[in-house]
Structure 1
């Protein structure tokens, strides 16, 4: 359920009082034709029904108001915040109700939620850059970042490395640790919450990521050169060649 709702936590309770919630009622104005001269008095009485009385109405599905029996079609039931914190709670929660079910959605962001939001924005920028550079999910690359200027809240984006790496599935490192000589696939400055985030995608994993992923280190090429000679003879009489990851051929066994 949590995954489908995209929320961090879900609490089910029948104790609405703990959230400062109570019931109130409004008359359906169509009852005016039935009540005629009594309508104003009944309307005022309906608005004064207590939470306890309305809770009983939801259970019994009827209630007597000034000698008039009211059913579900006669009253509209609403949930409201009450008490000293009513205004604060109204700002904290978005509400939606259906019959006797009330949903309260806490829309106030704490620091951890703001941090996660920043990380998600960074992830989105990385994914867009990968698409622009035609980098596929299977490519072995590393992403390096630099925040300009390197101050303020966004500069702490490095503290969310684990979260970001879990999403992008490649190394996320500070630009100061870039590998020298590695091919740069793309380098671009983008805006992240008002500051510049310079992203660079390089070929290859970082050493620790490659070890963790089980990627073998790159093989060094063997280049044959003229052996130095002394008195018309090679400096060494023979060499051993080992073929790694190559099939024998061309007379080599």
Structure 2
């Protein structure tokens, strides 16, 4: 055991002599600290220490002290000594990198003088292709979106998107190009600036989408995070024949289009909620083409 003084507590009580006492506290032996923990008084540099003025720390000794100190953190309460293995595994490292991506995007949003309620869409591209950061973003996409409260797409921003701010930064050996564009979804026709499968993109000839699609109506709830309409169109593929949505991906896109990230959304084929859809196969999702589904928030 070793002792660390609480500089603030000592300074408030002892003023000028606090530095001398603090140094003496650091020089206390394990035996003296054992006595202190067992209820004995602790006097250093002529001052009797009070509760809260000393923090008991633990360290390893012996041949493997350095190895053990890097692996474990120690804490004790009463007669119980706890050794916490703090060795980071890959999942912890990946989560830390995902949080750093969030941090970079948040700072960029602040730099553009945006507030959390401003509807935006975030496009992120990572170079070189196949870098570990691509996997990190893909595996933690839902976590990143729910924290940012904005949809995130791992692709270049469309050429005709209205970019608010753009910046490229290095992270863990990868180059991250971050583009924040104006977001918000409505039920009026738009152009191809919409994300892959969250769109109101229609053909210019007959008013219908080129791709397989479904119409979505949000029931018993209000859209959030900048979305204003309770009606939208979601592509089941984009472009034609590619990037077909699974059922879970469809639900996620509905969450994004209405700003419901982090909420549980049910899809039903009837407005009365009697025909809730669950675990559809990809072929079943294709058969939904041109239908209207109804979204409910639980």
More helix by share: 1
TM-score (norm 2): 0.42
Higher alpha-carbon Rg:
1
TM-score (norm 1): 0.48
